[in-house]
Chain A
């Protein structure tokens, strides 16, 4: 029997496996940020250990990182202390760091691929659940805890029990206004936040093949929101085109050898998955969440579900609690709901294509009065590219704020946050209670939808704006 992509990558990284024990899995790329690493470095120090492979380790600052100019001075006391600690740790242990002020700084899951560090067939880990993003390249990439960060620093290995492969097949052509974000929200809405627990998702089908690498990263990014250990997409020409010429991508003969290896990665035709879910991509609509976990997602035109008919993975009291927190009435439409803040950013949707999509809606329009709109590029490289394309002007002229790179209001650790009771439409990945600030209420959606909501000041179906003459935003690879 053939192997799946996941099985191939897993098998190639097992260092040792005793019966009844978890596997020792080798890690090719270890990404680090300021929030989940300090205790790991302290652990190393306490044991007198060093970092086994510094060249396989890459650090950035993103979570507590200010998105206003000014470097450390713009961070609050504890945030600045945490950032300085990362800088000291990287200096002491000899780890490459793209900190504040670096032209390569950015969100950890944005810069890995951008620098060509993330490559097909690799194992990639980070003390961060959205490490699943890197699976878009056919890498096995997953989040770990801080103890495991210490394990990887010291040994370049992890103890892991083997998850099962789960195929998510999405065929068909996406309709205008429907994006990668809508695909993944529809999936999690279907399987629930625990539907993928114990599995590695492999996204297949023509709708996935039709996505560019940025769209594929958006899909893989939120695999964890469906409970999956990781998400993966088989590498193809789009993957190779993206990587060719990037700073850390192989060159010359090494590139040709890499291509040969990478082309052998996709799942065999007779490979078997433990589970399969299929979604008709051509039937999807723009999606939005209404509740307090990403599984509480609906097509934007649908009514808010009532607890009596709670969807998969949600019981009645949980849904009631969520609607209470959100201040929403079951059975009512979400369309027209007034909003206070729009956030375009995060490792889900802060790449150049996302910014172009948001700008395509905002160009020549104004953000509605009373709505605060924050646009935060995922990396300094993206920021520069957006500025070269004049997107920053589009955002500013529309009345949006244009910031430095970072996680920003996705996690609200750097001062960018909602006020209690405020409603936000956010392109990030989590609508948990208080995620964007205590008492804040989040609707997750695509950059197109977020931009449309910024213009009208209420939850809006972006297709109604596309119809009235705005340039149709490019979606996917067409």
Chain B
């Protein structure tokens, strides 16, 4: 799995709450049998609007998405983080994430960063004034910072953090428990 240690990059603000995975990647792009090449499908229907943020010059090269509340709700499609990654994103900052999206993102090295509503407002305002601002997401220190702003801690499940820092795949961890799984199955049969 992709490693994540620290990232310094520009950010783009998508100021909409409850963005569902059908918007991140519409269902008609799910008729694929591999994970690659989904970048063109990212927010495809919203991109038809020239005013959409991802169509703005300032969004080019941004690797951090600052999203609204409850990002990634709806369908469990892992194509959503695949498309975000293919679209160049490495982290999403929001006040909250939907469960399945959150899990899927972590498994693909796309870091979900949860911040307080107050910090979110401050960040959005700052990016409004300075679209070129570089944010730093430091997973080791669990800190989000930017020039001129105070560094803030963000929460993350320690197990997921460890996996991302070391680029360890969860399947290896699971396979390492073969004996316990066999013992459980034997108990269940009894």
Contacts and interface: CB of A to CB of B under 8 A. Distances in A.
B58 interface: no
B63 interface: no
A36 B34 CA distance: 10
B138 interface: no
Contacts of B33: 38-39, 42, 81-82, 85
Nearest to B23: A433
Nearest to A196: B99
Contact of B174 (A81, A157, A225, A412): A157
A430 interface: yes
B39 interface: no
A435 B26 CA distance: 7
Nearest to B35: A39
Interface residues on A, range: 35 or more
A198 B157 CA distance: 14
Nearest to A41: B33
A147 B78 contact: yes
Nearest to B102: A197
B103 A318 contact: no
Nearest to A318: B17
B170 interface: yes
Contacts of B76: 36, 127-129, 143-145
B31 interface: yes
Interface in A1-32: 15-16, 20-22, 24, 26
A157 B78 CA distance: 18
A79 B15 CA distance: 34
B3 to A, nearest CB: 16
Contacts of B45: 433-434, 438
Nearest to A22: B159
Q: Among B26, B33, B104, find the residue whose CB has the most chain A CB atoms closer than 10 A.
A: B33
Contacts of B22: 430, 432-435
B162 to A, nearest CB: 9
Contacts of A85: 33
A329 B188 CA distance: 57
B27 interface: yes
Contacts of B17: 314-315, 318
Contacts of B34: 38-39, 42
A315 B16 CA distance: 9
Interface stretch (B5-13, B66-74, B118-126, B129-137): B66-74
A335 interface: no
Given A39-B33, A157-B174, A430-B22, 19 more contacts: A15-B181, A20-B158, A36-B76, A36-B77, A81-B33, A82-B33, A127-B78, A144-B76, A156-B185, A193-B73, A225-B74, A227-B73, A227-B98, A318-B16, A321-B16, A413-B27, A433-B45, A434-B26, A434-B45
Top 7 A-B residue pairs of the complex, sorted by shortest distance between their CB atoms: A78-B31, A38-B33, A145-B104, A145-B78, A143-B76, A194-B70, A146-B78
Interface of B: 15-18, 20, 22-23, 26-28, 30-35, 45, 68-70, 73-78, 96, 98-100, 103-104, 107-108, 157-159, 170-171, 173-175, 177-178, 180-181, 184-185, 188
